[in-house]
Chains A and B, each alone.
Chain A
Amino acid sequence: MTGFLWMRTVFSSELKKMLSYRVDFWVQFPAMVLIQIGLAFFLWDSIFELQNITKMNGYSFSGLMLYYLMVPLVDRILRGVDMRFISSEIYEGTLSRYLIYPVSFFLFKYLQHLAQFFISFLQFILTILLFVMIFGIPDEFQASPQTVIMGTFLLFTASIMYFIFASIFECVAFWADNVWSLLVMLRLTIFFLGGGMIPLNFFPEWSVDFLNYTPFPYMAYFPIRAYFGLIPFDEFLKGAGIIFFWILSLALLLRILWKKGLLSYTGVGM
């Protein structure tokens, strides 16, 4: 049991760190949410008004606003530790310290990621409750304890998948001088193909059928739909299966890249 104590300490240290930067923590969060939902509000308000409609592809205006509120919150949950959480360690040579400690580097980083997941998830719950208290529950929102559990489970597994996915891109830093643009591209791709810009049921059906076999929809659209109560149980099982498939495949790829990368690692800056 004592062998696992360090995990608890890493997790709690990360929580302490986040709370010690409280100004950043509380200013960045509402600013990000307000910008995202503000843009969506003006865009969709004009569309609903121009077309004189009350529903679009199954979404009411308030339903869409709730969707767009959930997008940055889910994105924040998934992102966890900051961008460049591995590449900066490689570039600055600080990866070296993790290589001499008798613990797994990825487990260490994942625990920090999990701490951020925990805080961001609390923000997610509080913000949704605030929305519902102010604007009421949208018609299409059919949440029940079961759908909340399904959504939370999907969010948790998606965060693991995102962590591994991002780690793969971060590991390119073993060979490339700068991976920042690659990481931005990854985030934009996830944002677009994950339904962050427009819900995926606005996409052509054939593309959604294809996308459903990729990791992207499970990083925003799918868990949000689950919270809305719009994912039947058999679809949930299929989605969970696809997520597990991707977690295993990506973890295998990450393992190969990591081993190869360490052969090229020079510990610069040390």
Chain B
Amino acid sequence: MIKVKNLKKTYRVHKKNPGLKGSIRSLFNRKWTDKNALKGVSLRVEEGEILGLVGANGAGKTTLVKILAGIIHPTSGDVDVLGYNPFRRQTEFQKQIALIMGQKAQLWWDLPASDSFLLLREIYRVPVAVFKERLDFLVETLSVRDQMNIQIRRLSLGERMKMELIAALLHAPRVMFLDEPTIGLDLMAQKAIRDFILDYRKKHNPAMIITSHYMEDIERLCERIVIISEGEIIYDGSLKKIVMEYAVNKVITARLDKNGPAMKHDFPSDLGEVLAMDDDFIRVQVSREKVPESASLILSRYPVIDLSIEEEDIGTVIESILRKGIS
């Protein structure tokens, strides 16, 4: 459904020295610099797949999404979404995609959501009966019926995001781009939106690309992730595989007997790092090769009643890859 080959995007950015002197100088002698936002990205996304796009700020995630949605023009490379070149913005292409930008309202600020939905029904030419059925379902599922006739500007961030989601789904898109769909929302609203996206996928099987700084979004929604760093894909694979391949540490947690013999409250730093320790438990992070040694030390030194060895959480692994790169 989405095919991208050797995609590059270079922005030309105006550079100005600080202060008044710099401003005056830039009036007569403007300096420009090229910023390579994407340096030859290639990927494919299939029907029904939810791809998580992960990367630090400025890595090129949003640029990629904007190119795929037809908003900006790539500098070079091939892009094919549903068989169309997005930048040509053909009506048939536009009718099959949706874009949600968590940081940017797409609905009309001065109109109540119900008016915006009506306008979108007409823009996308959704038959009245289908529109009513879809709207009813979406409004019920996201519990926003009471907010339908309130101006968008007067809604809370969570309510607005739910309305944005409804607006994006009224025409049942086959490809969805979700840029930070849960940003700024409380935990309940985040969960509601995640559940809803999964439910929508089950029913309509669209291809989705999600960018998010919330690891929980990625963990809950995506089976596959693409990590972008400085405009290049440094990892493209399953979420499970990334932990198997790149998690260098494991976490050992031991539950201790409070009434057991007095214990030494320390753990050798050459074996690993203590994450938490109390009278009745100890949690340490150790490298994979030191797991047997560390586990036997804990068992011999503390009155252990229960012991578990777990993989590092995905967020920590991805964060470490983003910080250090892939070796």
Contact = CB atoms under 8 A, between A and B. Distances in A.
Contact of B119 (A6, A93, A270): A6
A13 B119 contact: yes
B71 interface: yes
Interface of B: 11, 14, 62, 66, 69-73, 89, 91, 94-95, 97-99, 101, 103-104, 106, 108, 110-111, 115, 118-119, 122-125, 179
Given A100-B69, A100-B97, A265-B72, A3 B125 contact: yes
Nearest to B62: A270
A13 to B, nearest CB: 6
A270 B94 contact: no
Contacts of B101: 96, 270
Interface of A is mostly: helix
Contacts of A177: 14
A93 B66 CA distance: 11
A94 B99 CA distance: 13
A93 to B, nearest CB: 6
A39 B124 CA distance: 50
B66 to A, nearest CB: 5
Nearest to A263: B73
A102 interface: yes
Contacts, number: 69
Contacts of A6: 119, 122-123
Given A99-B71, A265-B72, A270-B179, A13 B66 contact: no
Nearest to B11: A266
A102 B94 contact: yes
Given A6-B119, A6-B123, A13-B111, A102 B95 contact: yes
B103 A270 contact: yes
A2 interface: yes
A262 B72 CA distance: 7
Nearest to B107: A97
Contacts of B103: 270
A94 B124 CA distance: 19
Contacts of A94: 104
A145 interface: no
A99 B94 CA distance: 9
A138 interface: no
A17 B152 CA distance: 13
A99 B89 contact: yes
Given A262-B73, A265-B71, A266-B11, A13 B108 contact: yes
A113 to B, nearest CB: 16
A100 B91 contact: no
Given A94-B104, A99-B89, A266 B95 contact: no
A100 B125 contact: no
Given A6-B119, A6-B122, A9-B122, A17 B71 contact: no
Contacts of B73: 262-263, 265
A9 B118 contact: yes
Given A6-B123, A17-B111, A269 B104 contact: yes
Contacts of A5: 122
